[in-house]
Amino acid sequence: MSFYDLYEIEAESLAGAKAILERLLMCSFEERESTYHGGTYYTFGDEAGEHFMLKENRDPFEDVPAEDSFPNSKLLLYVNETMRSNELHDALAESGDAITLLRHEDL
């Protein structure tokens, strides 16, 4: 069963959030650019399997939050198609209050 988790990251910048995540998850995010995702964003993993996306909570076309259920969340981490949701949650909990689980779904 795959899980899809959404986290809020409290950091001064997208690059700052990237540094926090790379330290906690021991991975290297790749910078990408896309109008669809609101400009610069970061990814890690294989889109055919487990993959992460770090981006600003902004819909560039309508100037509203991309995740309208969480309008006060500035930076978001999407954890997609993971089989290790609990393990990742525990690793991210090492940040203290800087990273908060917003949504957990099993699809």
Phi, psi of 88 (to 5 degrees): -65, -40
Residue 76, Cβ neighbours under 10 Å: how many?
Answer: 22
| CATH number of the domain encompassing residue 101 | 3.30.160
pLDDT band at 41 (very low <50, low <70, confident <90, very high): very high
What is the number of structural domains in the chain?
Answer: 1
Model confidence, pTM: 0.94
Domain boundaries, position 100: 3-106
pLDDT beyond 90 at 88: yes
Q: Are strands 30-34 and 39-45 parallel, antiparallel or unpaired?
A: antiparallel
